[in-house]
Amino acid sequence: MYFETHELSVGYAGRPLIEGINLSVEKGSILTLIGPNGSGKSTILKTITKHLEKVAGVVEIENSNIFKWSNRELAKRLSVMLTERIDPELMTCEQVVAMGRYPYTNHFGALTPQDRAVVKESLCLVRAEELAERPFTDISDGQRQRIMLARAICQQPEIIVLDEPTSYLDIRHKIELLDILRKMAAEKNVAVVMSLHEIDLAAKVSDQIICVKGDRIRLFGPPETVFTDEKIKALYELESGSFNTLFGSVELMAPQGQPEAFVLAGGGKGIPVYRLLQKHKRAFSTGILFENDVDYAVATALAAHVVTAPAFSALCDAQIAEAKRQIDRVPCIIDAGTPVGVQNQRSQELLNYAKAQGKRVLTGTEAAEQMA
């Protein structure tokens, strides 16, 4: 194993905050720490990079204790991007990135042509070439994140440690940054250890996940074993709303009370209607949804009642009857616009039934306009 800790305890002034930390990461892979605010993710990262004194335990790179290394020696193997802001006056972005070459320069800090080529390559990797000559203090927070990542890359590390690297970034640059890290891991054989608040992104980019909460590491494993609805709910103590691990999406608290509408949905057409009703606190029932339908996961989180059918089966009389009972209990039916095919062709019976019972029938667009 390239990088690992053994019974590491971290904290402040010799008092442990988290104990018994045993983590490991190979070159070419990404390890991500997730957990609630204040759980100790940053403390762990600062300790394994020697920014904080360890309370107990060992941190090793290739079986060698890094706490016995000089800072210059460590900087040739490991680079860091923490959340603390820096404000170097009178420095351009290119000069800030060039600071990453300090482990390799002489006592005068002079850059060689090779060093300057590495600086340019690092700026290109984070797509920040246009920022090179701009004063670092004049750029946005998101642009600063990219420059600080370029500085870390400029060290040409074997392992890179990042604390919330996607903070301040818009969605485009979040995706680009994580794509850069994924490529670095795969193409340059770099080990990546980072913390993320966006657990949906953590699930997509990481090879291993560590869940940090309380005085111990709660979970450590691949995303497919860590990211279950029950584990994420317990980790973040979700009492209202839910996190859908299948979609990587958050759903707010389901509307309370008696349903006011039945949403005829399926094929993804129901999701915007469900969220519209949730936003306006209108309870609803829905169906008939196949259990493998994209609408199903969101419906079960937000609807008061969901009429379901087994995947890959045709609708049967019992399901139609249950849906009609739900329609009888509401004044309105919303047709989300689901295309009708072989398996769900009987759903047209529900529209005809609603009209025959004198129920209001709205399209999803009409429902949105009425609630605007």
Which pair of structure tokens corresponds to residue 121? 């390559």
> What separation in angstroms does the CA of 275 have from each of 133, 161, 221, 298, 334?
46, 38, 33, 9, 13
Using one digit for the tens of pLDDT, what is the confidence trace for 90-118? 899 999 999 999 888 776 668 889 999 99
Contact 338, 350 (CB under 8 A): no
In CATH, the architecture of 3-232 is 3-Layer(aba) Sandwich (3.40)
Which pLDDT belongs to residue 328? 96
Query: What average pLDDT does the chain have?
Result: 91
Contacts 24+ apart (CB under 8 A), 183-188: 184/125, 184/153, 184/160, 185/28, 185/29, 185/30, 186/28
Contact 245, 46 (CB under 8 A): no
3-state class (DSSP) for residue 51:
coil
Which pair of structure tokens corresponds to residue 91? 């420095």
Cα–Cα distance, 247 to 232 (Å, whole number): 13
Instruction: Report the amino acid identity of residue 284.
Output: F
Cα–Cα distance, 178 to 277 (Å, whole number): 34
Which pair of structure tokens corresponds to residue 254? 């389901």
Is the pLDDT at 368 greater than 80, yes or no?
Answer: yes
Contact 24, 191 (CB under 8 A): no
Is the pLDDT at 83 greater than 80, yes or no?
Answer: no
- DSSP labels, 154-179: HT--SEEEEESTTTT--HHHHHHHHH
Which pair of structure tokens corresponds to residue 239? 């009492």
Domain range list for the chain? 3-232, 252-371
The correct answer on CATH 3.20.20.140 for the domain covering 252-371 is: no
Cα–Cα distance, 297 to 247 (Å, whole number): 8
Using one digit for the tens of pLDDT, what is the confidence trace for 125-135? 888 999 999 99
Q: Which residues of 168-200 are buried (b: 16+ CB within 10 A; e: fewer)?
A: bbeeebbeebbebbbebbeeeebbbbbbbebbb
8-state DSSP, 331 = S
Instruction: Report the amino acid identity of residue 345.
Output: Q
Q: Note if the bond before 180 is cis, omega within 30 degrees.
A: no
Alpha-carbon 17 to chain mean position = 25
Do the first three CATH levels of 3-232 and 252-371 match, i.e. the same topology? yes
Which pLDDT belongs to residue 342? 81
Instruction: Report the amino acid identity of residue 358.
Output: G
3-state class (DSSP) for residue 66:
helix
Is the pLDDT at 372 greater than 70, yes or no?
Answer: no
Using one digit for the tens of pLDDT, what is the confidence trace for 46-71? 999 999 999 999 999 999 999 999 98
Helices (H), the chain: 41-48, 71-75, 93-98, 113-125, 141-154, 171-187, 199-205, 223-226, 229-236, 270-279, 294-302, 317-328, 347-356, 364-371
Which pLDDT belongs to residue 24? 92
Give the strand pairing for 15-21 and 3-12.
antiparallel
Using one digit for the tens of pLDDT, what is the confidence trace for 225-276? 999 888 998 898 887 778 887 777 788 899 999 999 999 999 999 999 999 9
